[in-house]
Structure 1
Amino acid sequence: MTTAVPLMARIGIDVGGTFTDLVAAVPERGLVVHHKEPSMPADPSRAVADGLAAILAQAGLRPEEIGGITHGTTIGLNAIIQRRGARIALVVTEGYRDILEIGRSRMPSSFDLYAGKEEPLVPRDRIVEISARLGPGGVPVAEPDAPELDRVAARLRAIGADAAAVLVLHGYTDPDFEEGVAAGLRARLPELPLMASATVWPEVREYERALVACLNAYIQPLMRDYFGRLESRVRALGVPAPIFISASNGGSMSLRSAAERPIETVLSGPAAGVAAAARLGMGAIVTFDMGGTSSDIAVTVNGSPELATHTTVGGLPLIVPVVAVSAIGAGGGSVVRVDDQGVLKVGPESVGAEPGPVAYGRGGDRPAVTDCYLATGLIDPATFLGGRMRLDADAAGKSLADLATRLGSAGDGAAEEAAHRVASGALRVATAGMATELQKIMAQRGLDPRLFTLVPFGGAGPTHAAMLADEVGITHIVVPPTAATFCALGAAGADLRRDFARSLRRRLDPTSAARLADILGELSGQARAWLTEQSAAAAGSSLSYSADMRYSGQAYELRVALDPGRFEVAAISEAFHAEHERLYGFRDQHAPIELGTARLGVVGPVAELPSAAVRPGTGRPTPHGRRQVLLAGAWHAADVHLRTTLGVGDAFDGPAIVEQDDTTVVVPPGWSGDVDGAGNLHLHRKA
């Protein structure tokens, strides 16, 4: 008698403003199922629970057959942007009470003398000074005694904060010192969540490190409350599987780790999609995530998403590593308008999900990019979202014709033609703006977009991808099978990942190289201990080493990958010279090199996700229909294919439209399409 092998299905969840996307992947069955559940902004965990119950039924799974759930959320990000976090306090070294007020002493806008300054995250009356300080070499300059700790604790108690952070000057040089100060305050205030900045992120730059600690404290109570509700609802469904949270670096972490360090999850949504695209195995790719409000890109080289160590969240600098995602332009809901000078513009304002584009019929009266897709025939009003939502093409056309009147291009009895001209022009304006930003971003990284494959996802990404590719010279596009739920798929397959850092700020010599090796060794131990806490097997884990370096006198540092075990001066120097030469075209062999921050990344891989089962094709698929589409100012008769009827090996030429229940793929003239064994749709521009 044989015993059935238990299934280990993985569930990925991505909570959006309009829909909560879920993907169930069952490797043993080769099954991938996706589901969209209307979001509930008042309590996102309800939509997660309802969607989880629905996808279990859809996939034919029992609760005990789930091996893991990975959930991406924007709750922390929205709390920061809307300034709806906890009431927090900050404890700082004596004399640095104005650290958040002063910041970097930069104007919000160099061209606007009336631009208001960003409000500090912590008001000055909730910042408490303490007699604790380290020198730049890590030697204590001032240490708080018991009466000093009693005084600070009494002040924090009087403030009535929900959480607090501790920042000691030069705390990154000796995180244990700053943690000792925090521990002394915790002993006196056991009810107050309190974390040291060097424990959250021990990197140089006091202002940015203070913000990381404050932001972590700011969203921690909110996130812990949400995670508690989430776990309760999941367990109420009878699901015993561990719950993981998507991280901003493209990986994931346990629910407990996310509750302790929620700041590492604030940009998890876009990062999960980039991580999923990297697993397609397409080499050098540019991901293109076009949603309702904006379009985002990220670059992946050698199968690994590019990480940034500096980004901005809600107008505040954030220095923890995140997948380098850049906003490059309009989304499907971006408003098409005519400015005061009579020029056609697209965005940056969005109509949002409510009321949405004019074609949605929800009261919107301003045309958006989606209305332009409709007017040009790129999307069918009867098959939008698989036919579950019919669009009003006449209303979209009328709103665009009204814009034509403002542009002075509408003639008598030519309202429909005028609407077509405006829609086509708006799409070209949006594409030109995207292309300009994409080329600028690629040039800053020393990369040529023509050597990359474009991977579009999001509701509008596959619709606009070929237009963007034509503009920048990309000749290969790969559209995954479940493009509109791609971020949820990325969450389902996200590896466990965390990044560690420690700043040195020393000139490179044998002594500092040895110190770098010691620090990387300490970080390795922390990384392995973290993996153990996540209940992950360390056998399949991998570590990556890098350091921020610069030539002496330079204002900015380069992040340079280091070979494990080769931390001698010659190897470190050559790695930096080579990276500097790659980016800037030269090296300076005689200039001193300065070490900035040592960095280590740890990855604990999860099981590979299966590809969706795709039947063999006939080679030349029969079109489902045919319709007129307006592309680049000219009308074309395009074949219409259904994604569900395309099989492996099927190939066709543009102009063509491929419709699926969550998006529409546009294949312009001069392009061809074919389906690979995993169901990915490849578009190639003909020579």
Structure 2
Amino acid sequence: MRIGIDVGGTFTDFVLSGAPGGLVFHKEPSTPADPSAAVESGLVAVVAKAGLAMGDVTLVVHGTTLGLNAIIQRRGGPIGLVTSPGNTDVLEVARCRMPNSVDFHLTKEAALVPRNLCFAIPARLMVDGTVLMRPEPADYDRVAGSLRAAGVATVAVMLLHSYLHPALEAEVARELAARLPGVAISASAQIWPESREYERALVAVLNGFIAPLMQGYFSRLESRLAARGLTAPISITTSNGGSVGLRSAGERPIETVLSGPASGVVAAAQAAAGTRFTQLITLDMGGTSSDIALTKAGEPEYTTRTTVGDFPLVMPVVNVSAIGAGGGSILWVDPQGVLKVGPRSAGAAPGPVCYGRGGTEPTVTDCYLAIGWIDPDAFLGGRMRLDRAAAEAALLPLAARLGFTGADAPARVAEAALAVATAAMATELAKGLAQRGEDASQFALMPFGGAGPTHANLLAEAARLPAVLVPPAPSTFCALGAILADVKRDFVRSLRLRLGAEGAMARLRAALSALSAEATNWLAGEGTMLAGHILSATTEMRYAGQSFELTVDWTAEAFDDPTPDMLAELFHRVHEGVYGFRDTASAVELTSLRVRVTGRMAPVELPAAPMLPSAAPPGTRRVFRAGSWRDVPVWRREALGFGAEVAGPAILEQEDSTLVLLPGWVLRADRQGNLEMLRAATSTP
């Protein structure tokens, strides 16, 4: 029996598998001051809802954005940085780029480590591994004393060329750790040994920056759940769509920063299996933001270059990008009288005005309530009553600014705000697809998160997507992804070799063997619940003379017996797909090799939809649409069995979410319990 948990800004979600009645879902209000409190109370509630005891649980898999939020809000540290002489400004110099090349009023983002906490130590390597400078004991004493006096909680160490020759950097980290008891040390080559000193230093700094916060949270979580009688192991989902044990997550918390969004994409890929939709755009719309990702043939899209707050991250992650507002995004009018939505969010505290927790600024959720899309008495299955009058009152000042008058003024503001948010989301979605060379007409939208199904039809209409596929329990979907996640970790070596050169393939095969052994040894310490494992490889490759690389996935044949011609052809195909041509006359260089180990978890069987007789809609609700009020049928989702069809406009309610079906669209329940939403002209029986 497994329990998946996803800690969000507004709610903490739970999914329990293995109970006699199938999957059990639960939502618990988040406790931002100490997220482990909501995890504890929600875990007790979902186990009780399933009619089981805490001792019956065999595994808890937990996704969290605690590290991500700490980086964005800069709530980690304090952290020091130790480098080779002349490199203490590596974080400030960065890539010598302004945030916007055409806006000279913008200032460069502040470095995560201030200059007074950056220290040089006489340790320097040549690219061939020759040691030019090695610290003396007095040097270690001096730097450790400065770090101790500065009161740092953790230290990152980055020496030039350590990604190729990590021994000296490891020595520096070891000597500093001996002199700074209780201070965690992050060595860049130990965390992510890849070239480009700024990015490598940043990974080590980010890891150290959030380490005290994350390790403290993991410790509190373990203590709280043990006190409740939990004896099962706890795993943490990771940014690459997998999961690792609590010990591994504490050692390298940087791997967990995008764990929550990645889990939802993993669940989407599995939930769509068996449907006719092989290409998905996932929409995770929660309280703060809306995140999109792509899946093809059941596999999420991965990237090795993403951003976390203001900072680039060069580790393999599920390619999730924020595209717009969330349910808690705040409405406002700028000095020119233009209605805006976000980026500020009401979060969990105080939350939207309708929550009655002290919020005064209207949000997207207040808009849903004001136009009648959400029933104030049925939110979370009736466990939380919303205040519609308060939401409408909060919209009135904006109505006055925009010139809306009369009894419909709050609803008109709400509809306008949803149009603004939708337009921004559709624009970002179109731009993201264009950058990937993808056609929107080939993808279905899969929405999840609390607000995903509510907003999905608006976005599909604006972005001209042909279909929407809504999973059975969308609001707790990231928690479902947590229990579906395999155990997974990536290992990397920088190589810098030219295919076809003398000795190149011998070096590559040696690195492949070493990484494979390192990966399988790590997996052996991650528990006994695995049903086998697989190894896969990717490389960063380029034509000789290019400044940046493309990621090339190896085939199984290449992994078993790589040859120069085989790898070159794989690279030519990727280059041709991105740039439209191949250059067979140029030499091909391989700069790094990554091996991923995936420990297979036993699959979780998702329940099929029951065959139910056609049911009449239980009632209607007045909804504001296109400038007027109208009565719209309201269905209960559980009343729609396999094969049921509904024509828009309509509203479908369930405990964890509300789905809105627009005019001109039809909805059909499939065998897996998903709801297919199609434009009426393309509906199929």
Q: Same fold (TM over 0.5)?
A: yes
Identical aligned residues as a percent: 54
SS for the counterpart of 1:519 is: helix
Correspondence 1:352 to 2:334: no
Counterparts of 2:151 and 2:212, CA distance in 1: 14
Structure 1 residues 561-570 or 102-111, which shifts more? 102-111
Counterparts of 1:192 and 1:384, CA distance in 2: 46
Correspondence 1:638 to 2:632: yes
Equivalent of 1:650 in 621, 625, 644: 644
In the TM superposition, residue 147 of structure 1 has moved relative to its aligned partner by: 5.1
Correspondence 1:386 to 2:386: no
Change (3 A) 1:100 1:402: closer
- Counterpart code for 2:319: A
Change (3 A) 1:335 1:319: same
- Counterpart code for 2:264: G
Aligned pairs (5 A) from 1:199-598? 199-280=190-271, 281=273, 282-400=277-395, 402-410=397-405, 415-510=406-501, 511-536=503-528, 540-563=532-555, 564-598=559-593
Structure 1 residues 134-143 or 494-503, which shifts more? 134-143
SS for the counterpart of 1:428 is: helix
Determine the structure 1 residue equivalent to 2:605. Answer: 610
When the two chains are superposed, the root-mean-square deviation of aligned CA atoms in Å is 2.4
SS for the counterpart of 1:336 is: strand
Structure 1 residues 185-194 or 89-98, which shifts more? 185-194
Change (3 A) 1:346 1:192: closer
Determine the structure 2 residue equivalent to 1:20. Answer: 12
Correspondence 1:166 to 2:161: no
Structure 1 residues 504-513 or 677-686, which shifts more? 504-513
In the TM superposition, residue 305 of structure 1 has moved relative to its aligned partner by: 1.4
SS for the counterpart of 2:562 is: coil
Change (3 A) 1:367 1:395: same
CA offset digits 1:286-328 (Å, max 9, x no partner):
1101112221111112212112222222322222222211111
Determine the structure 1 residue equivalent to 2:679. Answer: 685
Native 8 Å contact 1:536 1:604 kept in 2 = no
Determine the structure 1 residue equivalent to 2:661. Answer: 667
Native 8 Å contact 1:514 1:568 kept in 2 = no
Determine the structure 2 residue equivalent to 1:143. Answer: 134
In the TM superposition, residue 209 of structure 1 has moved relative to its aligned partner by: 0.9
In the TM superposition, residue 149 of structure 1 has moved relative to its aligned partner by: 4.3
Determine the structure 2 residue equivalent to 1:624. Answer: 618
Give the TM-score normalised by structure 2. Answer: 0.92
Native 8 Å contact 2:668 2:676 kept in 1 = yes
Native 8 Å contact 1:531 1:537 kept in 2 = no
Determine the structure 2 residue equivalent to 1:32. Answer: 23
Counterparts of 1:193 and 1:350, CA distance in 2: 33
In the TM superposition, residue 508 of structure 1 has moved relative to its aligned partner by: 3.2
Native 8 Å contact 1:532 1:538 kept in 2 = no
Native 8 Å contact 1:545 1:600 kept in 2 = yes
SS for the counterpart of 1:389 is: coil
Counterparts of 1:50 and 1:398, CA distance in 2: 33
CA offset digits 1:372-403 (Å, max 9, x no partner):
32333322233233233333434444554543
In the TM superposition, residue 631 of structure 1 has moved relative to its aligned partner by: 4.2
Change (3 A) 1:234 1:389: closer
Native 8 Å contact 2:530 2:602 kept in 1 = no
Change (3 A) 1:236 1:361: closer
Equivalent of 2:53 in 62, 73, 80: 62
Determine the structure 2 residue equivalent to 1:50. Answer: 41
In the TM superposition, residue 527 of structure 1 has moved relative to its aligned partner by: 0.9
CA offset digits 1:252-308 (Å, max 9, x no partner):
100110111111112211111111111112421111011122211111122121122
Change (3 A) 1:186 1:514: same
In the TM superposition, residue 157 of structure 1 has moved relative to its aligned partner by: 4.5
Native 8 Å contact 2:498 2:504 kept in 1 = yes
Structure 1 residues 350-359 or 162-171, which shifts more? 350-359
CA offset digits 1:490-536 (Å, max 9, x no partner):
11222111112222234333443442332222211111011101124
In the TM superposition, residue 470 of structure 1 has moved relative to its aligned partner by: 1.5
Change (3 A) 1:368 1:161: closer
Aligned pairs (5 A) from 1:106-117? 106-117=97-108
SS for the counterpart of 2:186 is: strand
In the TM superposition, residue 104 of structure 1 has moved relative to its aligned partner by: 2.1
Aligned pairs (5 A) from 1:179-190? 179-189=170-180
Native 8 Å contact 2:9 2:347 kept in 1 = no
Counterparts of 1:633 and 1:547, CA distance in 2: 55
Change (3 A) 1:406 1:124: closer
Count how many residue pairs are aligned between Structure 1 and Structure 2.
673
In the TM superposition, residue 78 of structure 1 has moved relative to its aligned partner by: 2.8
Native 8 Å contact 2:530 2:600 kept in 1 = no
Native 8 Å contact 1:636 1:655 kept in 2 = no
SS for the counterpart of 1:223 is: helix
SS for the counterpart of 1:377 is: coil
Counterparts of 1:193 and 1:368, CA distance in 2: 41
In the TM superposition, residue 235 of structure 1 has moved relative to its aligned partner by: 1.4
SS for the counterpart of 2:595 is: strand
Counterparts of 2:177 and 2:331, CA distance in 1: 54
